[in-house]
Structure formats: C-alpha cells, structure tokens
Homo-oligomer: A and B are copies of this chain.
C-alpha cells in the first residue's frame, strides 16, 4: 500500500495513458448508444461511446467488481472470465449500463465479447466487457456491433488513440481521467497506464468476485482499465490489484451510492521482459523488491485515478481527505469515516466553507462505530500536512477561532483529522462536498429523457 511507499519507490510519471506500456492498442468511436437506448431525440449525438483496449499478446488479467447484489450483465461476464487468468481485449460502452436487463442483457454482454473476439481474430474467452450509463435499458446491439467493427479498424498506439478511448468511456464526467508511470524492474523499463470514468453513483466497494467481504459490504458507476507490460502471474496480479483498489477506489465517495457496474480490470502482457513476478516472493530478495516496486506503481496509478473521480464528481467543488484514527477496530474506523463522508449536513457545510464540527461529531455519534464524546479530537490541515489546526480536543472546542477554522476549510482540498482516541483502528476516505449543481444535474429533465443519467 501507499504507506510502504518510500521515496525510492516513487514511480516516474510519463505520458501515453493505456498505450504507454509496450504492446497495447486502443480506439474510441461514436456509435450512438445513448440516443437509441432511451428511444428518443432526433438530433444525432457525437460523443464517443465505445472503446477497445487490446494487447498484442495474451495477457495475465485481474479484476475487482461491485459488491452490489444487483449487478450488471457485463460484470457477471467479467467475473467468470477473469478466473481463467488470461485475456487480451476489453470492450467498453458508455450511454447504457446494461443493468437490470435480465436474460437479454446477459445475452447482449456475451455477444459484445464474442463479436469483439471475432472482429479482432482472438480465441474465444479472450475479451472482457464493461458498460456504464442508465440502468434498465436494453443495448442497441446493431449500433454496438457497428461500433466494435469501427473501433477494431481504428486501433492504434498513439496518444490520440488512448485519448479517444478515454473519452469514449465517460458519462457525466467533465474530463478524461488518464495516467501512466514508468519504473525499473529487474533492470527493465516497465510501464503502467490507466484510464477511468466516474462522477456520480460513486461509493465503490469492490471485491475480486463481486461477493461481499466478511464485513458487511457498504456502499458510480466507476470503471477503470489498467494496462502494463510487466511480466506477472495472474495470482500475483490479482493480489496487487486487490491491495491497490482497497486503498484507492474503495476509499472514495461522491454521493454514497454504490453502482451496479463498478469494475476495475488490469491486463499485464509481459512485453517488458522482466523476470516474471509471482505471488509470495521472499522478503529482501530482488523479486520481493521488484514486487514492492510494482505494487507501489499500481497503488499510485489507482490512487491518482480515484482522486480524479472525486475531484470531477457531479457538482463537486471540494475534495476532503478524512484521516480517521484511534477507532476500536478497522471496521469501526471505516464506519465512522464513511458516516462523516456521506452525511448530507457535513457535505453541505464543506460546500459553504463552514467549519461546522458539530455536524461531524453528530455523524460520528450515529455511526455504528464506538465513539466517546469526551475523547474525540477533530482538526484540519493542508493535504498531507501534519500541521493540524485542532477545532476540538477531547470533545471540547479548542482555542482556534471561527475565523481560523473558516480559513482552514476554505481551501478546495484539505484534510480532516479525526482521532477517536480509543484503540488503533484507522481508515482514510476521499470525500466530496454536496452542491446545488449535484442536485440540478441529478434531478434531470423528464421532458428530455436523453438528459437522464445513471
């Protein structure tokens, strides 16, 4: 995780997104999925809505998926296919979630992967699929097929290709979300690239099989696709991705709503030629250090992409990092941090720049976590800083003035420090404010169903 990230392990940022690693191609095209999906509107849209990501060679694959019990057809297809350990292509559409679409939806999701395999002359079972958009509408398959054919013909590995793919997966996002880094493993240059989308219905809590973790699952569609030319086994890749996602996408919330479609997929094609990374390498060995380097790179890619989602959240004007510690357990820390992160009153006070710690301690108090009012410390700092302005110490207002506290929460990004001072449970959450724009956007316009989001 990020914690073990020493300065030496800091990956080097590079350009190129998902085609930065060797042996990957991408494309993004417009095939009019949203307009037909809602069955209305006469003017033709232009936003790209279908993306392909393809590895030249079979790649190890790993994935994490929504733990929502109502899960979309493409998620079901991917959960089954990722178990095989290998894949070579990912097809993604925006404008329609293919969720709550019953047997037809599952048939369509399977047709999407099979059609992609034929278009790319890949063996059966080598394609994966992701969808995002409004729930409950059947996909316009003729358009999807035409889109896949066009994308397959346009595949390439320039930055522009990656850019077009990153555009095609967006829904209510206002901008592309891309990143790429470079690191040295085993003397070779290894690259990791990623793109993601997500702005509303965002509180992912993903697991490798979509099954709920032992602790009850809490609450975007958010989609993230990562490519790397590292040589790494499926199991090691899955372990690395699980670690990276648990410390990034699974720690963000925009509106507290977990989607039916949340998906993170990574393809590792080995083109960098490093000695393959395996699960469970010995400590202090070169391989262990390489594994740690790779983990640091993947952590960085996931965390930066996750924060981009919060910053570009629907109507969002502030990113607040909640650093909660001193809880009775990790589960308590998680519950307390999520209660604060999802409180309507806390979020609106952040929007107003109001340092209303009363609302924060109220949310802590009604969370399922154990809280003792007389022990709680609350404070603010600049992002990542240890220079904390305390507003509450041991449950009592500190000497900080209202003006000082207002200044601390006036920043577009700040950290909220909470210490329950009970035991050692800690948790981080990356949270957003709640604005009038969020409401205006999500109430939609029923006279224009094409305006209606997920």
- A residues with CB within 8 A of B: 67-71, 97, 99-100, 102, 134-136, 200-201, 205, 216-219, 255-260, 342-345, 348-349, 351-359, 361-366, 368, 370-374, 392, 395-397, 402, 406, 434-436, 438-440, 442-446, 449, 452, 454
A365 nearest CB neighbor, chain B only = B70
Q: Please tell me if the beta carbons of B70 and A102 are within 8 angstroms of each other in the complex.
A: no
CB distance from A391 to the nearest CB of B (A): 9
Interface residues of A, dominant DSSP = loop
Work out how many copies of this chain go into the complex: 2
CB distance from A203 to the nearest CB of B (A): 8
A409 nearest CB neighbor, chain B only = B446
Complex interface: chain B residues within 8 A of A435 (CB): 439, 443
Q: Please tell me if the beta carbons of A359 and B257 are within 8 angstroms of each other in the complex.
A: yes
Complex interface: chain B residues within 8 A of A439 (CB): 348, 351, 434-436, 438-439
Q: Please tell me if the beta carbons of B352 and A445 are within 8 angstroms of each other in the complex.
A: yes
CB distance from A441 to the nearest CB of B (A): 8
Q: Please tell me if the beta carbons of A344 and B134 are within 8 angstroms of each other in the complex.
A: no
How far, in whole Å, are A189 and B363 apart by their CA atoms in the complex?
44
Q: Please tell me if the beta carbons of B69 and A371 are within 8 angstroms of each other in the complex.
A: yes
A446-B352 CB under 8 A given contacts A102-B374, A371-B70, A439-B435: yes
Contact partner, A443, options B71, B348, B395, Cβ 8 Å: B348
Q: Please tell me if the beta carbons of B438 and A366 are within 8 angstroms of each other in the complex.
A: no
Contact partner, A69, options B135, B373, B445, Cβ 8 Å: B373
How far, in whole Å, are A364 and B99 apart by their CA atoms in the complex?
14
Q: Please tell me if the beta carbons of A353 and B446 are within 8 angstroms of each other in the complex.
A: yes
How far, in whole Å, are A353 and B364 apart by their CA atoms in the complex?
33
Contact partner, A260, options B343, B362, B402, B436, Cβ 8 Å: B362
Extra pairs beyond A68-B366, A349-B443, A354-B443 (15, CB < 8 Å)? A69-B364, A69-B366, A69-B373, A70-B362, A100-B358, A136-B361, A136-B397, A256-B342, A257-B363, A348-B438, A349-B442, A349-B444, A354-B444, A434-B439, A436-B436
